[in-house]
Structure 1
Amino acid sequence: MTLSISSHIPSSPSPPSSRTTSDGDQFLSETEKNLDEATAPPPILDLSEGNTRQQDYLENVRSSTSNRHSASRTAQPSVNDDEVQAEPHGQTSRTSKMLTKVTTYCYLILFAISGTLTRIVIEALTYYSGAPVSTPVLWANVGGSFIMGFLSEDQALFSIEVDHEDESVRRTHHTAHKKTIPLYIGLTTGFCGCLTSFSTFERDAFLALANNLPIPLGPYSSLSILSSTGAGQVPNGGFSFMAILAVIITEVCLSLAALKGGAHFALLTSSWLPQIPLTYLRRFIDPLVVFLAPASWVAPICLVALLPRSGGYSFSWDPETWRGPFLFSLVFAPVGCFMRFFLSLKLNRYFAQFPVGTFVSNLGGTMILGMAFSLQHAASGSSGLGGFSQIGCEVLQGIMDGFCGSMTTVSTWVLELSDLRRRHAYSYGLVSIVVPFAMLVIEIGPLRWTQGFASPVCYR
């Protein structure tokens, strides 16, 4: 795999290289150009520069990157008969592109599963009697945003030697270099994207509006993050309005703060962190991941199909609970991650001031979650495949936590909010919250305010 170095900070033009761009480079260039996890500049500002940003805005980065790639395609020399005979080189390029894609996809599979599992465990650990916040996904979103900020700002782990006196140019080359590494794409798009869940955040906002947020009461061993027992009837709608504002403000503000905190932590530890040797990464880590990723996906599929089943249980640490919805979540997680990955590649290129790919991923995943939640909590006479079917209940929970949780992301979303211009950031953030929430009101609201939520059979 050959690495292509690109810059998102204006600098003096460099002489053209005589190296021919391989298909592997083109795939990584396409990934760098359209994935906001790879395109967005680091979120830290240089306070010594006053009101001047040290990094460029995301709109300018994507615009300059698109122009650079268009110019490189226009400047391609015409193919003559002598070059047509160089078929072995073309075969090598196609092989390089295929290997690069396979490696990147395997990293996404492995980190999608690990990120989803980490999110579910964090939710279970932070749901206890007396918890200061009753939305456990908050801490997963904060953790994923912190790691995203760290990786975006880090200049040590994936650093390369750049012979240039200008520190800003060296920093630009380091940043561009790490964004062409499959491991970096796996950590940002895969792990951070699946550790955070925008759809679960929107679901909690709706449950706050409906006064159905789960309240942890009782011993920790008997609690379940999968229940939906509310606190009771509120005096009037004003209390529900305060509840939904509390959920939105804490989720958004703490995630943005965690993004900045991760970036500051990267600056703090930059002189202590070791460098990951690129040769070691290519020769040992990448082949190992290509082997482990399919195995890590096949394992939960086999466990779901082969493990014996019994009646449902009501607490999170029971083996039956893990073998049902938790394993189904791991089965569906890579599918949701791939959906978000390809939507970002295809759609983020169109509007630099509004990341369409991330918005469509968050909107689509939230709408699917609303559908699954309604089916799971419908009465037995309303839905034969929902909450009153053991397998159906577990599959729907796996879709919500696995597919929807991995298809939607908070870490990329707050990174985009941090790097967009202020006007674009406010409009993008407002639309991203309001539209999916309105879809949940349409999907879940009629069930909640007519029949009410039934208790799913797999959590009784």
Structure 2
Amino acid sequence: MPIAPPPPAESTASHESFDVIDGADSSGARDNSHQNDRDPWIPQTYHPAPLHALLVLLSIVGVLIRVGLLRLHDYAGAPVSNVVYPQIVGCVVMGWLAGNKRAIMEWYASETGFALLRVWVNDVGCDPVYGYAVRSPPSQSTLAPIESNILKDVDPPPGSITTFSTWSLATFTELANLQTKPRTVGQDILAALAITLLLTCLALSSIAFGEHLATLPALSLPIPSPSRRDIKFVPTRWGDTKSLHARDLCVLACGAVVWLAVAVACAKDTGGRVNGFAALVGPFGTLLRFHLTPLNARTPVPLGTFVANVAGTALIGGSYVVSHLTRSVSPTCCAFVVGGLMTGFCGCLTTVSTWAVEVRGLVAVGEGGKAYGYVGASVVGGLGVLGVLVGSVWWAGGVVEVGQCAVT
């Protein structure tokens, strides 16, 4: 792709690192009033079909990593909840991607860029599907401030590894003492507060650690062309098959083959059917969160991520009730469907890694009040829907302590 020479340097405002450009259509047109006579963007087009295929493929990988981490640390006498480990791993990966965001964007826009990067670029400030774009100095290797909105997209595999819904359910389990441990109400509150503070601090610190790893020479990605002007990712229309390259067709084929392989394995392997079904339905949660992304640009805080996290938490709460009903429930159906939905769909619909990056982004632009409000609203919103769905049935005696089926 021909690259125009870089324009002369010019003075910029204190928040020049990120500019939000909206109103882009599939042809790459933009409203020049947003530019304020700044440098033009370098358009980079892509077809949305391979992007969705990659979301499916990497969501399956993320689900399997999360299930493995949960089971690895699920043992008697464990010092902390096993929910901690997927959050740490996912957030460290997310931080590393954020630290290498410029290199990832440049690499994709170069002639040798691979289609996989179009997914990960979104996590660090660019939403190609809806025409938003990012300005960032080539030398920058950490999260930069943005002007008014946090624009984040779905982030597999980190977003599929981390899960806000399971975190919320673990917190509510301690708060409501669903396991009927011998302790007081005050101790229940302290236990829930401990999980909330622990996971929040671990998520934020893991993002910072991942960014630090991106500064190490051995782990930082080289920038192909530091003089490149800002990149704008613009989608083509779904029917525009002429824009599909050979690598795009390979991604589409891999996504379809892997999903079908998981479906076949899920049908034949009765022992791992719950995890297989979780990997099968997980991509649908990821795709739903992906299409909630435009809401992030329309509110002072990332509404799309908030809606995805609260909705996924509500769904995992309803699934928990179904799996713990006092009335007879088919164990096979419960384990296969409910367990898969809780682990797969809900786990991929909700995310901690993107949530943590958004909180850090708000703080970076001096919006600490909004960051605290976003954290509080997310925690209270998750616990609130669980209180209505799970707490009301639990306190009415409609569910039992031990579920009728095995749910991860």
In the superposition, the TM-score normalised over structure 1's length comes to 0.65
Letter in 2 for 1:400: M
Which one of the candidate residues 154, 157, 168 is aligned to 1:202? Answer: 168
CA distance in 2, matches of 1:247, 1:285: 44
> 1:106 aligned to 49, 53, 58, which one?
53
Closer, same or farther in 2 for the Cα pair 1:74/1:289, shift >3 Å?
closer
**Structure 1 residues 445, 331: closer, same or farther in 2, change over 3 A?**
same
Q: Distance in 2 between matches of 1:3 and 1:415?
A: 33
Aligned to 2:21: 66
In the alignment, the residues of structure 2 paired with residue 125 and residue 139 of structure 1 have an alpha-carbon distance, to the nearest angstrom, of 9
**2:385 corresponds to 1:419:** no
- List gaps (5 residues or longer) in structure 2: 34-42, 111-135, 145-151, 226-243
Matched with 2:97 is: 151
| 1:289 lines up with 2:251 in the alignment | yes
Identity of aligned residues (%): 27
Provide the rounded CA distance (Å) in 2 between the counterparts of 1:3 and 1:203: 51
> 1:100-125 CA deviation, whole Å, 9 max, x = no partner?
21121111111111001100100000
Report if the CA contact (8 A) 1:378-1:454 is conserved. no
Q: How big is each residue's C-alpha offset from its partner over 1:25-59, in whole Å with a ceiling of 9 and x where there is no partner?
A: xxxxxxxxxxxxxxxxxxxxxxxxxxxx9985xxx
Give 1 or 2 for the bigger CA radius of gyration.
1
- Aligned partner of 2:215: which letter? L
CA distance in 1, matches of 2:15, 2:204: 18
Counterpart contact for 1:119–1:137, Cα < 8 Å: no
1:364 and 2:311 correspond:
yes
- Count of paired positions: 335
Give the Cα separation in 2 of the matches to 1:411 and 1:113: 17
Structure 1 residues 143 and 337 mapped into 2: Cα distance closer, same or farther (>3 Å)? same
1:241 aligns with 2:189: yes
Look up the match of 2:138: 170
DSSP 3-state at the match of 1:250? helix
Q: Give 1:156 shift.
A: 4.7
Instruction: Report the secondary structure of 1:269's partner residue.
Output: coil
Seen in structure 2, the aligned counterparts of structure 1 residues 368 and 276 have a Cα distance that, compared at 3 Å, is farther
CA RMSD between the two structures: 3.7
Which runs of structure 2 are paired with 1:200-279 in the superposition (5 Å)?
A: 200-212=166-178, 230=179, 232-269=180-217, 273=221
Equivalent-residue separation in structure 2 for 1:4 and 1:211 (angstroms): 61
Residue 128 and residue 288 in structure 1: after superposition, are their counterparts in 2 closer, same or farther (change >3 A)? same
Task: Describe the SS at the equivalent of 2:402.
Answer: coil
Is 1:129 aligned to 2:76, yes or no?
yes
**1:394 has 2:336 as partner:** yes
Q: How far apart, in 2, do the equivalents of 1:301 and 1:433 lie?
A: 34
The alignment's TM-score, normalised by the length of structure 2, stands at 0.72
How far is 1:75 from its partner? Answer: 5.0
What one-letter code is carried by the residue in structure 2 that aligns with 1:298?
Answer: L
Aligned counterpart, 1:18? none
Unaligned runs of 5+ in 1: 6-10, 15-52, 77-92, 163-167, 177-184, 213-229, 310-319, 382-386
Cα distance in 2 for residues equivalent to 1:276 and 1:265: 20
Distance 1:300 1:73 in 2: 41
Cα 1:390–1:67, aligned 2, differ >3 Å: closer, same or farther? closer
Q: Which one of the candidate residues 284, 293, 302 is aligned to 1:335?
A: 284
Per residue, is there more helix in 1 or in 2? 1
Cα distance in 1 between the residues matched to 2:385 and 2:253? 40
User: Greater RCO between the two (CA within 8 Å, min separation 6)?
Assistant: 2
* 1:128 Cα deviation after fit: 1.6
Q: Is the 8 A contact 2:83 2:166 kept in 1?
A: yes
Q: Is the 8 A contact 2:164 2:351 kept in 1?
A: yes
Partner-residue secondary structure (3-state), 2:138: helix
Question: Which residue identity does 1:378 align to in structure 2?
Answer: L
Q: Who is 1:300 aligned against? A: 262
The answer (yes or no) to whether the contact 1:378–1:447 under 8 Å persists in 2 is no
Aligned counterparts of 1:455 and 1:129: Cα–Cα separation in 2: 17
